[in-house]
A and B are shown apart, each in its own frame.
Chain A
Amino acid sequence: MSLTPYISWQTVHPNFLPVAVIALSLLKPFSQAMGWAFVAGVMLDVFSGAPFGVFTVSMLIVAAAANFWYDRFTPSVIILPVALALPYSLLFDVVSLILQQILGRPFVWSGSLLQLIFSVALMNIPVMLVLYPLFYRLNRPASSQEFTL
């Protein structure tokens, strides 16, 4: 929160927490992935002005979707996590916006809004490049492969 003014570009900043949850969901089993998603979602809900639960539900949905790939790819290769950062970031933003709209927040689904959502998702890709290797190193057993592209 405090750093966002310094890393934002034209009022848009990357979303660290959803990217962290996506990365963890690719590396951790379902129950742990959902646990991290719940914690991250509650943090966002507490520090945000949105109705409570919006980001927790969005985070759980994204974590469940990302966890589909758990054990289905080589975790030491970063290509898939980076490729998934964009669609899952889009999913997170769209779900959270739909939930906010259902709960009465007034906004219009316009071209500029879609452009904004896409910009945020694009900014999340470099964040994944930083966070995924970090989580992989923290998560991997000593005998597993070194990290590669």
Chain B
Amino acid sequence: MDNRDNRGLLLAIFAALIFLGFALDRLGYMAPVRLALQSVFQPAEIAVSGAAERATELSQQQQSVETLQQQNADLQAEVNRLLIENIQLKELERENQRLRELLNYTRNNPGISFATASVIGQVIGNDPNNFLYTIFIDVGANDGVAKDMPVVTHRGLVGRVTNVNANTAEVLLIIDPASSVNALVQNTRVQGIITGELGGTLTMERIPQGETVSPGDLVLTSGLGGAFPDKLVIGQITEVFQRDLDLFQTARMRATVDFGDLSTVLVLTAFQPKSLETGNTGGQN
């Protein structure tokens, strides 16, 4: 089998199969195949994920520093809670101020009830490649999840649903380079676009020259474009790059969500993403 002719034939067969798969993928026919295969493996994934989680919990319980870890976790949770509360209070204060200043203030409120219009999903897998930031969750179309719905945790925005199966969904994280989110800086209301970078960092682009953006500023979703609700926490600016020759400023950010430790997420099922191109729901930013 290992002579030159057979090698050539083998490679030709592989090339033909890859080309066929690629063509089907481009035409959109591979998505059902992928989802079907993912459905087949879903029970195994859930089982493995659950077993790994239990094993992790057991090993942690046996550690002598358990008490310290607990205290640390409690304090961290408290810090997160206070951070979110602080942001919400600031947002409320600003909104109140704006309402008082503008008598004819009207706001197009989609009327989202985050408490009731959401489903909780357990993360059952990550993308097998290090350079694609997607996760798989154990809720799907049967739970009311649809494509492009925003996904959050108590710490902020996680991403959006990109593929939905009956019982699973694929979520593109905001740290992926293919993701973009319209955002604004909380203090100055300066707007920009958040994109991911390989390595898991976030960049805020298209910040107009002359606007003041500083390290430490909190960044929220702006709601522009209709792909995400407004006021979802994204992260904190760590570094600002400003050059007079450039049209825009750029800032590097740290996400509030710990993407290395995602276990439970919330899909905002009541939020209907809008597409500016089609005028219908279900679009992207």
Contacts and interface: CB of A to CB of B under 8 A. Distances in A.
Partners in one complex: yes
Interface of A: 1-6, 8-13, 15, 17, 29-31, 34-35, 38, 42, 44-53, 55-57, 60, 93, 96-97, 100, 105-108, 110, 112-113, 115-116, 120
Interface stretch (B89-97, B104-112, B127-135, B182-190): B127-135
A135 B156 CA distance: 44
Contact of B22 (A5, A10, A52, A110): A52
A129 to B, nearest CB: 19
Given A1-B128, A52-B30, 18 more contacts: A2-B44, A2-B125, A5-B126, A5-B262, A6-B56, A10-B260, A11-B200, A15-B130, A34-B14, A38-B17, A48-B128, A49-B162, A49-B170, A52-B25, A60-B11, A96-B131, A107-B177, A110-B197
Contacts of B172: 49
Interface stretch (B2-10, B207-215, B218-226): B2-10
B133 to A, nearest CB: 8
Interface of B: 1-2, 6-7, 10-11, 14, 17-19, 21-22, 24-26, 30, 33-34, 37-38, 41, 44-46, 48-49, 52-53, 55-56, 123-134, 136, 162, 170, 172, 175, 177-178, 195, 197-201, 259-263
A38 to B, nearest CB: 5
Nearest to B259: A11
B198 A4 contact: no
B14 A38 contact: yes
A44 B128 contact: yes
Nearest to B179: A106
Contact of A53 (B22, B195, B260): B22
A112 B125 contact: no
Contacts of B197: 107-108, 110, 112-113
A52 B23 CA distance: 8
The 10 closest A-B pairs by CB, nearest first: A52-B25, A1-B125, A2-B48, A53-B22, A107-B177, A2-B49, A112-B199, A2-B45, A4-B126, A53-B18
B129 A107 contact: no
B25 A47 contact: no
Given A8-B260, A49-B172, A93 B49 contact: no
Contacts of A105: 177-178
Contacts of A3: 48-49, 52
A97 to B, nearest CB: 6
A13 B131 CA distance: 10
Nearest to A5: B126
Given A15-B130, A31-B1, A51 B25 contact: yes
B34 to A, nearest CB: 5
Given A3-B48, A6-B52, A11 B128 contact: no
Contacts of A48: 127-129, 132, 134
Contacts of B127: 1, 47-49
A118 to B, nearest CB: 11
A113 B129 CA distance: 14
B14 A116 contact: no
Contact of B11 (A6, A34, A49): A34
Nearest to B126: A4
B2 A31 contact: yes
A106 B178 contact: yes
Given A45-B21, A93-B131, A1 B45 contact: yes
